Structure 1
Amino acid sequence: MPRTITVGLDGSPESRSAAEWAAREATLRGLPVKLVQVWEPMSEPVALVQLLGADTRQHWTERIPRETAENLRESYPGLEVTTEQLTGGPAEVLTREAQEAELLVLGSRGLSGLGGFLLGSVGLAVVARTDRPVVLVRAAADRTKGKEGRKSEGEGEGQDAADTTVRPVVLGVDIAEPHEKLIEFAFDTAARHKAPLRAVHGWNPPPYYAYGMGLDAGAHQAMAQSDAAALAEVLRPWREKYPDVEVAEECRCGSPASLLIEASRDASLVVVGRRIRRASVGAHIGSFTHAVLHHATVPVAVVPHD
Structure 2
Amino acid sequence: MNEHVTVGVDGSAESLAAARWAAQEAVLRQVPLRLVHAVDWLLDPVVPGVGRQDVDSWADQALADASQELRRRHPRLDVTTRALSARPAAALAAEAADADLLVLGSRGLGGLVGFIVGSVAMSTLVATDTPVVLVRPADDPDGPGTGSAAEIVVGLDVHEACDRVLAFAFEEADRRRCPLRAVHGWKMPAAYTYVPFADPGNERDISRSITHMVEDTLLPWRHKFPEVAVSQTVFRGPAAERLVPASQGAQLVVVGRRLRRSPLGMHLGSVAHAVLHHAAAPVAVIAHD
* TM-score over 0.5 (shorter chain): yes
Q: Which position in structure 2 is the counterpart of 1:81? A: 79
The one-letter code of the counterpart of 1:236 is L
Which amino acid is the alignment partner of residue 297 of structure 1?
A
Which secondary structure state, in structure 2, belongs to the residue aligned with residue 167 of structure 1? coil
1:220 CA displacement: 2.5
What is the rounded CA distance, in whole Å, between the counterparts of 1:266 and 1:109 in structure 2?
18
* C-alpha deviation, 1:212, in angstroms: 4.8
Alignment correspondent of 1:124: 122
Describe the SS at the equivalent of 1:35.
strand
Residue 97 of structure 1: aligned partner:
95
Give the gaps of 5 or more residues in structure 2: 109-115
Shift of the alpha carbon at 1:40?
Answer: 1.1
Which residue of 166, 180, 195 maps to 2:178? Answer: 195
Q: CA deviation at 1:181?
A: 1.1
**Cα offset, 1:54, TM superposition:** 4.7
- 252, 267, 271: which one aligns with 2:254: 271
Aligned length: 282
Q: 2:96 is aligned with what amino acid?
A: A
Q: Distance in 2 between matches of 1:119 and 1:186?
A: 22
1:19–1:105 Cα contact (<8 Å) kept: yes
Measure how far apart 1:59 and its partner are.
Answer: 3.2
Q: Which residue of 1 aligns with 2:242?
A: 259
Alpha-carbon distance in 2 for matches of 1:96, 1:191: 29
1:153 aligned to 2:136?
A: no
2:48 aligned counterpart, secondary structure: helix
With 251-260 and 217-226 compared, the bigger mean Cα shift is at 217-226
| Gaps in structure 1 of 5+ consecutive residues | 111-117, 144-148, 155-163
Between stretches 16-25 and 274-283, larger displacement belongs to: 274-283
What residue is the counterpart of 1:11 in the other structure? 11
Of residues 184, 207, 226, the one that matches 1:243 is 226
CA distance in 1, matches of 2:2, 2:57: 31
- TM-score, normalised to structure 1, is 0.85
Residue deviations 1:187-218 (CA, integer Å, cap 9, x gap): 00100000100000001122233335344543
CA distance in 2, matches of 1:214, 1:194: 48
| Structure 1 residue 152 displacement after superposition | 3.5
Tell me if the contact between 1:178 and 1:234 (Cα under 8 Å) persists in the aligned partners: no
Give the letter for the 1:130 counterpart: T
1:282-301 aligned within 5 A: 282-301=265-284
CA RMSD in angstroms comes to 2.2
Q: 1:159: which partner in 2?
A: none
CA separation in 2, counterparts of 1:123 and 1:38? Answer: 13
Instruction: Give the counterpart letter for 1:82 in structure 2.
Output: T
What letter matches 2:196 in structure 1? M
After the TM superposition, which residues 200-215 of structure 1 pair with which residues of structure 2 at under 5 Å, given as runs? 200-215=183-198
- In 1, are the aligned partners of 2:26 and 2:32 still within 8 Å (CA)? yes
Distance in 1 separating the partners of 2:196 and 2:46: 61
Which of 192, 203, 212 aligns to 1:229? It is 212
Does the 8 Å contact 2:251/2:282 carry over to 1?
A: yes
Separation in 1, partners of 2:197, 2:262: 40
CA distance 1:197–1:215, change in 2 (3 Å)? farther
Rounded Cα–Cα distance in structure 2 between residues aligned with 1:228 and 1:214: 24
Question: What is the rounded CA distance, in whole Å, between the counterparts of 2:280 and 2:63 in structure 1?
Answer: 26
Check whether the contact 2:153–2:254 (CA below 8 A) recurs between aligned residues: yes
Q: Is the 8 A contact 1:127 1:285 kept in 2?
A: no
What corresponds to 2:113 in structure 1? none
Percent identity (aligned): 43
* More deviation, 60-69/202-211: 202-211
- Kindly report structure 1 stretches of 4+ aligned residues shifted beyond 6 Å: none
**Conservation of the 8 A alpha-carbon contact between 1:261 and 1:297:** yes
Deviation at 1:92, TM superposition (A): 0.8
* CA distance in structure 1 between the partners assigned to 2:185 and 2:117 by the alignment: 31
